[in-house]
Amino acid sequence: MAPNKEIPKVTNLELAEIKVNSHSNEDIKCHHCSSNNYRRKGFDNGRRRYYCTDCRRYFILGSKHLTNQDRIALNLSCPECGYQQLWKCGKTKDGRQRYKCKKCNRSFNNKPNYGKYEKKLEVSDDVWLASDLGVSVPKHRSQSKLIFLYIEQEWLKNIAKKFIKYMAATRKMGTLLGYIKDFNSLSEFLTDYCYHLQDINDFNRVVIIDYIHYLNRENLDNSYIAGKLSTFTVVFNTGTANQWFNLPAGLILAEDFPKQKKRLPRFIPEEVMQQLNQYLEHLPEPVMRSVLVLQECGLRIGELLELPINCLKKHNESWYIQFMRGKTSKETMLPISEELAAVIREQQNFINSHLGSDKFNYLFCSKYQEPPLQRQRFRPKPKIMYDKTFIDYLQRLAEKFDICDNSGKRWNFQTHQFRHTVGTRMINAGVPQHIVQRYLGHESPQMTMVYAHIHDETLRKEIAKYHESRVVNFQGETSEIEETILSSNDDLEWFKKNVQARALEHGYCARPKVLGDCNIPGFDGCYNCPHWRTNKNFLPILKDTLSRTNNVLEKAQNWGWELQVNKNTPIKENLEKVIKTLEAEND
């Protein structure tokens, strides 16, 4: 299809086309109140926009606000009374559109909840097992099927299947599920905007602009919108490269992607962490121990729940935890405290006594389902706990004991918050960023920068430390020793051997040893020496020296002692520069 070909936008029943000239006044009615009293109010992405003079709201024919003709074409009606005038009233947690009948106020969904009954869905053309594609499903995730039932357009469903089958060779299960959600979103957009495309070759720039407008109206996060646009950029490029279809280049442009917001790390505040630790004993013992591991090590939830039972190692009187990184698939050993090692030994004994290490090879397990009156019991089951089950324990604990932050809002625990908390704590404790990067298993410093949030109190202390250690030379210029000089024992030994670093009553001597011993008699010569260093701790001595120097100069000038004047004038000028700089830094 040529890019300038007109696309029908309402129905295949030839009731109307979204063109201003094809509508009579009786056909144009407000989508909100069905009134035919309106005014024309310009255009929106090339389509006529109207303003209802009764309800004072804007509407566009064929837009997301469905007309009665659209509802008839989509066969949308209230299942209770059959009335076809409906309100859109948000979406369910799994993304299904909710409607509300204007007549009987009944709420209903237009699609079955396939996700809820995934385990009962039989494998078919639209329901695939991930294992059949060679995709490994993490043991801590409950979803093991790829479901295409939400995609209503048959041609779009076929493209989605081709794309998923192609990407399954190099992508993980979570990524593939994200791709399918993006196809579901595009399918819902095409239905709501009444785009009746025959195949993907009917895509053009107008459809993409409308899709971006659709995503923006949903008030979605910028990163969420950018993710969907990135998915379809990959779909278009992959399909064109493999000759599935032939689309023009540049359907999605770089300027279509919204600007990303830089957010603070999602760490858990200390007051929330204290409350959590206060009530940890109310969790089942295995869950309590897993939370303690998460707090100290900052593992990803999959790494935690899939820890092997023999993960505890000892080397040179130090304890380590050994596990496989989930993203990089690299085996790692992290140093841990003696207290955490004791916690892990307790959990090992728990598994050995209840399940046996020969039958279950993981440190943490799930439990058997108990009747409602016995749900506090934890009867171990030889199966890895699901991530949703783990976070449910924390959510119920926060609800039971009203765990809140300083604003009084109940805290919504998420597993990845513990990882952010560990990274932020380490940064604020002064741990170098490259050490934090290695500890958390990040591939690049940019990933670690997400956690590099400096608390206000830490910032204040570092600034105070900076001013305390601020060093100037004899000209009052800042002179600092590079951090790498003192970063290891070898560098420290080099510093001692190559720099004299003698302590003086008014500062320090940084004369390199290769220059030999200093031949300047007394300390007065230091004020003109480029190797002299001082800081604000020596201000009282420097001021006293300046005062005495001024007295000597005054007396020498009165008596005409030129030699004394020439000798003390540079000392006076250098002292004034140094004192001025140090007092400015002190203020």
Q: What is the arithmetic mean of pLDDT over 198-212?
A: 88
pLDDT of 517 reads 66
pLDDT of 550 reads 85
Query: Residue 141: pLDDT band by 50, 70, 90 thresholds?
Result: confident
User: Is residue 516 predicted with pLDDT exceeding 80?
Assistant: no
370-400 core/surface letters (b: 16 or more CB in 10 A; e: else): eeeeeeeebebeeebbbbeebeebbbebbee
Averaged confidence pLDDT in the chain: 76
CA dist 396 and 283 (Å) reads 10
pLDDT of 30 reads 76
Query: Residue 543: pLDDT band by 50, 70, 90 thresholds?
Result: confident
Do strands 507-509 and 532-533 pair parallel, antiparallel, or not at all (unpaired)?
antiparallel
Alpha-carbon Rg for the chain in angstroms: 35
Q: Which of 39-48, 132-141, 327-336 is the least confident region?
A: 39-48
DSSP state of 110: S
User: Is residue 16 predicted with pLDDT exceeding 70?
Assistant: no
pLDDT of 515 reads 63
Hey, how many other C-beta atoms are within 10 angstroms of the C-beta on 20? 13
**β-strand partners of 339:** none
Token pair of 349, please? 């004994």
Q: Which of 264-268, 403-407, 523-527 is the least confident region?
A: 523-527
Q: What is the arithmetic mean of pLDDT over 553-577?
A: 82
Query: Residue 24: pLDDT band by 50, 70, 90 thresholds?
Result: very low
User: Which domains occur in the chain, in start order?
Assistant: 20-109 (no CATH), 115-256 (no CATH), 270-449 (1.10.443.10), 470-586 (no CATH)
Question: How big is the CA angle at 110 (ends 104 and 111), to the nearest 5 degrees?
Answer: 145
Give the predicted TM-score (pTM) of the model: 0.58
Do strands 58-60 and 86-91 pair parallel, antiparallel, or not at all (unpaired)?
unpaired
153-189 confidence digits (pLDDT tens): 899 999 999 999 999 999 988 899 999 999 998 988 8
Q: Which of 110-124, 149-163, 554-568 is the least confident region?
A: 110-124
Q: What is the arithmetic mean of pLDDT over 224-252?
A: 91
User: Is residue 76 predicted with pLDDT exceeding 70?
Assistant: no
pLDDT of 402 reads 92
Q: What is the arithmetic mean of pLDDT over 202-215?
A: 88
pLDDT of 287 reads 92
User: Is residue 453 predicted with pLDDT exceeding 80?
Assistant: no
pLDDT of 330 reads 85
How big is the chain, counted in residues? Answer: 587
Identity of the residue numbered 577: K
Q: Which residue has the higher pLDDT, 153 or 6?
A: 153
User: Is residue 527 predicted with pLDDT exceeding 50?
Assistant: yes
User: Is residue 444 predicted with pLDDT exceeding 70?
Assistant: yes
CA dist 273 and 537 (Å) reads 39
User: Is residue 502 predicted with pLDDT exceeding 60?
Assistant: no
Query: Residue 510: pLDDT band by 50, 70, 90 thresholds?
Result: low
pLDDT of 519 reads 62
User: Is residue 298 predicted with pLDDT exceeding 80?
Assistant: yes
Q: Which residue has the higher pLDDT, 175 or 357?
A: 175
Q: Which residue has the higher pLDDT, 21 or 318?
A: 318
DSSP state of 382: S
Maximum C-alpha span of the chain: 115
Q: What is the arithmetic mean of pLDDT over 39-45?
A: 72
The answer to whether the CB of 47 falls within 8 A of the CB of 18 is: yes
Residue whose structure tokens are 């709201």:
57
pLDDT of 114 reads 52
Q: Which phi and psi (to 5°) does residue 509 adopt?
A: -110, 120
- 405-409, 445-449, 465-469, 529-533: which has the highest mean pLDDT? 405-409
User: Is residue 10 predicted with pLDDT exceeding 70?
Assistant: no
Token pair of 292, please? 């303690």
SS3 11: coil
Token pair of 274, please? 């204290």
CA dist 412 and 393 (Å) reads 12
Task: For the chain, give the percent of residues with pLDDT over 90.
Answer: 19
Query: Residue 272: pLDDT band by 50, 70, 90 thresholds?
Result: very high
pLDDT of 69 reads 41
